[in-house]
Amino acid sequence: MGKFNKSGSREMPALNTSSLPDMIFAILFFFMVTTTMREVELMVKFKVPTASEIQKLEKKSLVTYIYMGQPVDPKFGTGTFMQLNDKFAEVEDIHDYIAQERNMLSESDQQYMTVSLKVDNDTQMRYVTEVKQALRRAYALKISYSARKEDNQ
């Protein structure tokens, strides 16, 4: 009896939570860093067209981006450039790029890989057609023409 009564008189020591914020901050920083890691620095300017029948691309990890437009840096001129990852590329590079991106996905996800074409409004179709042909040869058949939701309609 007496043995158990002893503890009743003592107060339960509070759990030290002073390190909890530090832990949460660590998680926070982890997320802050990882979410910006996949973003590429854009070297081309583009304004995607508007459309009303757009669909959202669900899984971000399955999407590969191809950017086309005028270079941001004026020293490259005003032609149409294509950007894959962090550098300008030629149409011939698409095949390797797609293969490399596809290899990063797990085998079951590879069939769902989508290529999102972020192309500027004023790009001439011949560039887009070339890219499309290259994608066909690389067997990246699921594509999405990136577009914004139309405001008025």
Q: Interface residues with other proteins (CB under 8 A)?
A: 17-18, 20-21, 24-25, 27-28, 31-32, 35, 48-49, 51-58, 60, 63, 65, 114, 116-126, 128-129, 132-133, 135-137, 139-149
Radius of gyration of the chain (CA): 25
Token pair belonging to 72:
């941001």
Nearer to other proteins, 10 or 60 (CB): 60
CB 116 to other proteins: min, Å? 5
Nearer to other proteins, 10 or 56 (CB): 56
Strands 148-149 and 50-51: parallel
Q: Which residues of 71-86 are buried (b: 16+ CB within 10 A; e: fewer)?
A: beeeeeeeebbbbbee
CB 117 to other proteins: min, Å? 8
